[in-house]
Amino acid sequence: MANFRSYIWDPVLIVCQIVLMQCIYYSFLCLWLAAVDSLVQSSRSLNQVFSYGVLGFATLQGRLSMMAFILNSLTCALGLWFFIRRGKQCLDFTVTVHFFHMIGCWIYNSHFPVALSWWLVNIACIALMAVIGEYLCMRTELRAIPVNSGPKSNL
């Protein structure tokens, strides 16, 4: 029986994919935040990426920042589709990206995240990124394999 995929343990590939997904996450998050900031003529800062207080329902800036995080999860799902290509691994990479983001926020703010809005946004982003990324990857994985349609031989 032929194997269509290789299941060889390759830690270098996995680490490179994790670094690539982190780069995609922060690059597109900064682009989405810059686009949102240009709408309301707000100043850009690193607080928008790592601070818990920025995300909130009370202010327009908080709601727009939340929208940028949600849009970022959609673009990261495309990153999963282009670079990870495995539906089984989408949840793993999604949780890893957000775990490292939580560690970054923890270091930046010098305390563990306690804001409810921060947790709600990140849980929603994890769900969107994982489900959409897995859907796209599974759709690609389940494409029909072309079978040779040459002349049949009667036995």
pLDDT digits (tens, 9 = 90+) for 107-133: 999 999 999 999 999 999 999 999 999
- Residue 92 belongs to a domain: yes
pLDDT in tens, 61-94: 889 999 999 999 999 999 999 999 888 999 999 9
The DSSP secondary-structure symbol of 111 reads S
132 touches 72 (CB < 8 A): no
- Residue 56 belongs to a domain: no
- Residue 152 belongs to a domain: no
Number of domains into which the chain is organized: 1
* pLDDT class of 44 with cuts at 50, 70, 90: confident
- Residue 5 belongs to a domain: no
- Residue 29 belongs to a domain: yes
Token readout for 136 is 């796209």
Range of the domain at 102: 16-41+61-141
Burial (0-12, 13-18, 19+ Cβ within 10 Å), 33? buried
Single out the residue of 106, 134, 141, 125 nearest to residue 25, CA to CA.
125
